[in-house]
A and B are shown apart, each in its own frame.
Chain A
Amino acid sequence: MSKKPLQFTLNGANKAVFVEDGQNLLDVLRREVGDFAPKYGCGQGTCGSCTVLIDGKPHLSCLTLAERSEGASIETASGLADGPDLHPLQDAFMEHFAAQCGYCTSGMLMAAKALLDHTPTPTREEVVEAIAGNVCRCTGYEPIINAILDAAARGRRFSA
């Protein structure tokens, strides 16, 4: 079985791994690197729980061929907090009860971060559009939308 070397940064830290032909980025992050924040929900692009940022833009890691991430800067929910200090989105998600089982949360947070990084004061419609590819079966979208709007309203700086 052929294995290819792959290097990228994950939440700012350099990573070097060997990946198999055809392996997706989600699998590599979880199994080879050990970052369990992005989740497998479908492997088809339909749930968004595997959402990560690649060079600042949201991507579905389950549909990303791992070897294409050579040299990329990858961000996951594991990197949102700065030590014990939570990202405003994390604070807002907690305060607004924007998670129940929490399985969609990592993906939701990254989709939201991608939005706020480029649109610090989004409209409600922009928030809805930003998480349009992310499914939550427990919480309902209202608390999530409210949390993202609230995080934006706090007017802090978001980029990590």
Chain B
Amino acid sequence: MLELRKDIFADERDDNLNEIGKPTQRQDMLGHVTGRTRYYDDHAFEGMLHLKVVRSPHHHARIRSIDTSAADRLPGVRRIIQAADIPVNLNTLLSLIEFGEDDEPTLAEDKVRYIGEPVVAVVADTEVIAMAAVAAVRVDYEVLPHVLDVEEALKPGAVSVNPVYTKNHFVFHDSYDRQKMRFGDVEAGFAQADHVLEARYQMSPIEHAPVEPMGCIAAPETNDRIVVHTSTQALFFSLGTAAKILDMPSNRLHFIGGTVGGGFGGKVDSLTEPLAILACKLTGKPVRYGFNRQEEMQAGPPRGAEVHYIKDGVMNDGRIVARQIRSYFDAGAYTRLSSYAIIKCTGHLPGPYTIPNVKTDVFCVYTNRTPATAMRGFGVTGVDFSLECHMDKMAQLVGMDAIEFRIFNAYRDGDMKAHRREAKNTALVECCQVAAQKAGWPIRDEFQQMSSLHGGGGERAAIPYTRMDQEGIIAGMSAAQAPPSTPIQAPATMAPAIAATVAAPPPAPVVPPVPTVAQPPVATQLPLAATAPQAPQSSQQPPVVAGAPAVPPLSPPAMGQQAAPPSIPTSPSPSMQPASPYTSPAPQTEGSEGSSRPSASPRPGTVRHGSRLAGTRRR
């Protein structure tokens, strides 16, 4: 049941709301219960043709030849479409916002790179004939070795999957084999930590399995336009994509959609519209291209597989002092939106916790699996699962209650996040408190009284000395030497947005907005500004990140250099929470950073680990 906790943040909110907190009927509900809601397939067109595609039965194969003659001869087959018929066959979804190289064919040209990849499209009078025609197309394949695992794919000598990113990884910001983030000094953090815990987590691909499989109907409209009823979740994104692939002005396309039979992120890839529109243009007839269930499960994009290595350093009192993350996202054979998922993932790291030393490397890897796409919690779900599993293990390691451990390390308002944005409206402390209460999970009073509004900022707002490193830089790579790409053919409506940025190498990290996500992520790549790690003065300047608060240069914080941890106040003042074992009994003053303070007394019953867990735990 929905419950508004008006006691929390009461003074930050206007409670004279007309809608929030009250049930409001969905606008489309009457249509749903009367069966009158019209999804893409609920439109009748006289003389509608059906499009089906021949799909790759192999993970990876060279196409030696394609023989469509038998299919051509079948009565009722109207048209067969191959790669050469498609005006701009190679595309990448995010090219609409200038992110990444065109790397994916609409119909396979020389190779297939995953099971289910479209090779030939047939258009016929009925679905039955179209299926028979698909079965009649002969494709001669030379089966090639394949790779299905992200870590295998990055090994030297691995099979090269993607036609553009031949080293099996996406190239970030024209220069990097990964999306990286550096904050403070993790090695120093590990050296100082009482315990170090490392673990590997992995997630298999997840199919959205919407009850309505994706599809569209494209039909001739008046004035040389084509109307497209589609299941897309991203109407204008799909329109732009179709216009680009078909090299036609977008104002000749009339997309109707938004009524989706379940999407969950899986219906943004615009997989059916370009072919259906092309078939409509070529035949002059309405054309339906709908996935069946088998196609939805096999060729429809899933949430991709992920592997995360997390290494944390934690003090006996429960403070996390260093976190290092190395992650691999399985994009499948082509980029689609995975590059962006990784930016979003990095924007989310190191989780909602204030950690003074953070190092993250996230790779977008190509394998011979079905290309991955967005899904609820895009870029975040897998790593969150991993981080929270790790949090539980760490709480156990230091003998703390799992929820108290989270409250203790949670962002407070005013803290500096690892990607150099100030934490605002954090509220994790309160979420944990309410969750514990609801679950009947007792937490101690001092944790119940903590607040995300207090105890943040100050020391915790500092950007630590951060050493620049060269990891991940692709030698000799620059925008000019980037892999060859098809020139971007901007559809008319896209022109203003795209034209400005084509020629020059991007001056700042690209921040790709994507239609499914309202907020663009924070750019997290450290710029390769002239950094001299040996020159403290210049390297202490906070990296130039758009929107980062201006912080005066600090002397390197104690964290990485001295035995004693900096004081990270977890409560506004000792007087408010005198019982907290995690708060220094001495009054906190401006100058107290780095000063030694009594170590926290362990909780009763706590098992102490005398030595650090240096070993790596792997599954």
Interface size for chain B: under 10, 10 to 19, 20 to 34, or 35 or more residues? 20 to 34
Residue numbers in A under 8 Å from B33 (CB-CB):
77, 80, 86, 89-90, 93-94, 99, 102, 105, 109
Interface with A: B61-69, B209-217, B393-401, B525-533, which one?
A: B209-217
**Contact between A94 and B260, CB atoms less than 8 A apart:** no
**Contact between A44 and B35, CB atoms less than 8 A apart:** no
Residue numbers in B under 8 Å from A78 (CB-CB):
34-36
Partner of B38 from the list A36, A40, A81, A109 (CB cut-off 8 Å) is A36
Interface with B: A66-74, A114-122, A123-131, A134-142, which one?
A: A134-142
**Contact between B44 and A31, CB atoms less than 8 A apart:** yes
**Contact between A76 and B35, CB atoms less than 8 A apart:** yes
Point out which of A36, A102, A136 has the most chain B C-beta atoms below 10 A from its C-beta. Answer: A102
| A101–B259 CA distance with the chains assembled, in angstroms | 8
**Contact between A94 and B25, CB atoms less than 8 A apart:** yes
Residues A41 and B213 in contact in the complex (CB < 8 Å), given A101-B260, A101-B261: yes
Residue numbers in B under 8 Å from A135 (CB-CB):
211
Cβ of A85 to closest chain B Cβ, rounded Å: 11
A43 near B: Cβ within 8 Å? Answer: yes
Interface size for chain A: under 10, 10 to 19, 20 to 34, or 35 or more residues? 35 or more
| A77–B33 CA distance with the chains assembled, in angstroms | 8
| A39–B36 CA distance with the chains assembled, in angstroms | 11
Residue numbers in B under 8 Å from A47 (CB-CB):
211, 293
A61 near B: Cβ within 8 Å? Answer: no
Partner of A103 from the list B23, B211, B264 (CB cut-off 8 Å) is B211
Residue numbers in B under 8 Å from A49 (CB-CB):
211-212
| A41–B260 CA distance with the chains assembled, in angstroms | 13
| A120–B29 CA distance with the chains assembled, in angstroms | 25
Residue numbers in A under 8 Å from B41 (CB-CB):
30, 36, 40
Cβ of B602 to closest chain A Cβ, rounded Å: 43
Residue numbers in B under 8 Å from A103 (CB-CB):
39, 210-212, 261-262
Interface residues of B in 119-176 (CB under 8 A from A): 126, 128
Partner of B35 from the list A36, A46, A136 (CB cut-off 8 Å) is A36
Residue numbers in B under 8 Å from A89 (CB-CB):
33
**Contact between B26 and A97, CB atoms less than 8 A apart:** yes
Residue numbers in A under 8 Å from B260 (CB-CB):
101
Closest partner residue, chain A, to B29 (CB atom): A94
Residues A94 and B28 in contact in the complex (CB < 8 Å), given A34-B44, A36-B42, A76-B35: no
Q: What is the predominant secondary structure among interface residues of chain A facing chain B? A: loop
Closest partner residue, chain B, to A38 (CB atom): B35
Cβ of B165 to closest chain A Cβ, rounded Å: 33
B8 near A: Cβ within 8 Å? Answer: no
Cβ of B4 to closest chain A Cβ, rounded Å: 17
| A43–B34 CA distance with the chains assembled, in angstroms | 22
B444 near A: Cβ within 8 Å? Answer: no
Closest partner residue, chain A, to B75 (CB atom): A1
Residue numbers in B under 8 Å from A30 (CB-CB):
41-42
Closest partner residue, chain B, to A137 (CB atom): B262
| A142–B290 CA distance with the chains assembled, in angstroms | 31
**Contact between A41 and B293, CB atoms less than 8 A apart:** yes
Residue numbers in A under 8 Å from B262 (CB-CB):
100-101, 103, 137-138
Residue numbers in A under 8 Å from B210 (CB-CB):
101, 103, 137
B37 near A: Cβ within 8 Å? Answer: yes
| A43–B41 CA distance with the chains assembled, in angstroms | 14
B30 near A: Cβ within 8 Å? Answer: yes
Q: 1/0 per residue B40-77: CB within 8 Å of A?
A: 01101000000000000000000000000000000000
Cβ of A28 to closest chain B Cβ, rounded Å: 13
| A101–B262 CA distance with the chains assembled, in angstroms | 6
| A81–B213 CA distance with the chains assembled, in angstroms | 27
What would be 17 A-B contacts, judged by CB atoms less than 8 Å apart? A40-B213, A40-B290, A41-B213, A42-B213, A49-B212, A80-B33, A93-B32, A94-B25, A97-B26, A100-B26, A101-B260, A101-B261, A102-B261, A105-B35, A135-B211, A136-B211, A137-B210
A36-B35, A102-B28, A137-B210 provided; 4 other pairs, C-beta below 8 A? A22-B128, A77-B35, A78-B36, A80-B33
